Chains A and B, each alone.
Chain A
Amino acid sequence: MMADKITLEIARYSPEHDQEPHFQSFEVPVHKEWVVLDALNHIKDTVDGTLTYRWSCRMGICGSCGMMVNGEPKLTCATFLSSYAKNGEKIRVEPLRYFPIVRDLVTELSDFLAKLKKVKPWLLPKDEPPLAQGEFLQTPEQVDRYKQFSMCINCTLCYAACPVVGLDPVFVGPAAIALAQRYNMDSRDQGAGERTAILAHPDGVWGCTFVGECTRVCPKHVDPAGAIQQYKIAAVLDWLKSFVAPRGA
């Protein structure tokens, strides 16, 4: 029989008062349909209004509510209390790993956003066709080549899972590389050459050792690890070609 209450141990960090994070326990009612985000909202509304965290859509598409739940990166809007209550477990909620912490459960994302911008995750067509020519047309096959990588919601769960992100602050990281590959594989894009400098670089794909944790934790099944390994092969072919074909200006 499931308990009607569950304990959440939540990481608290207040830059005004604290030198480092500490845990605070809260007891929350277990409703069958409640997720961890509901529990956090309940605490903020009725117990401690200073609890600080990000959330928005509460349906797994905005990517805001990522946190460590019992040591695993999860979207808190998609993690049910009942999965822990039925085992009699407590729920430990911490900010996503490997990011600086601003306050409580809020991480500092500017480094990730900078890396994302560097890979130019937008279409880079060589020659813009005139508007009169109409829309770009893509076959289902052409869409299928990049569709999986386009599902990324920038939730950074993969960054919290990847040990290389934690060990090497300049590593570009799973989501950024997967998104770069999403555009490289898009038939409307001719910008692969502009992305080479940051991707085919020791801090780019070569830093990845295919741990595979990023793919395991991704809530949208993007498979960033696959995207990275596919890029490595493309980079090898590119490197070989660079000896045969001279480069233009």
Chain B
Amino acid sequence: MNALKRKDLFRLALVAAAALIPAVPAVAGNTFFMHVLILILLYACMSQAWNIIGGYGGQVSFGHSVFFGIGAYGAGMAVVTYGMSPWPGVIAGMVAAAVVAVLISYPCFKVLSGHYFAIATFAIVEIFNRMFLVWYWVGGALGLDYPVIEEGLKNMMWYDTKTGYYYCALGLFVLVFGIVRFLEGHRFGYYLRAVRAGQETAESLGVNSTIVKLAAMALSAALAALCGSFFVQYNLRVDPAMVMSLDMSIKFVLVTILGGAGTLAGPLLGAAVLIPLQEYTRALWGGLGGGVDLIVFGLLIIIIVIKQPAGITGIARDIAKLAGRRPAEAKGGASRGTA
């Protein structure tokens, strides 16, 4: 009875917090804190996109900065090169990213196995980085600089305040997390986790593991591209080094693993811890020559991997267990939502 009440209170608190989220700009205004909040939402979405194939599917990709970059360039080129609204570019970028993802991963899933996928995705980051550096059509090494055009949702662009971006990031968050939450309880989510846990077993139960992994990869890449589109609209410029880099790729991986790979909440928790760290260390120690944030990242990951490989989600579960809740309750979360 008591535990039930506590759970209800917790739910109520969550709903109340969720209701307050849209009101944040009224309080936070146009501050650095606002910027950090937007980045937390963005990185949570990026990591959630990665989580589909890397966490639920168990296929570690180091290539997600490429898909992110393709999305950024899609929106960027629509605005800068073609003088359109970014939205058609967003769609084109998502499709292109999904196609590239499938082309790269098909041979890995079909013919090769094991670590080749990680290696192949690692390699494409350098390839795409170099290609975009010398490719005149996409702006080359100079990248794309946005012109001053009308602000608003049509151009996904705001100059005076960050409020518009904040709501946009919230929308992105609801969309990406909503998609993954939906899939978790459906056939595709079960098949994806089954393929991770035992490919031969899954196949013996009628699961075409190649198709499942390819679909997960395509969706993951498309959502990463969507995040990339938001990124370029937020920065109002893009060049190859900003998006298509191993640094960026590794952030997709680290945020998810720190938060808890293969869990819905993991990417949000990871981003909520790492992004403030990154932004505030950068603001404080940026003058020391960059990289301090990455040192902190590295330390955190080492501690997590040693202490609790399941990430922050795992730590939360441990705490819940200590607090006397039944362990089955804490673990069974993913299985509840079959619909």
Do chains A and B stick together as partners? no
B residues contacting A by CB (< 8 A) are none
Query: Which A residues are closer than 8 A to B by beta carbons?
Result: none
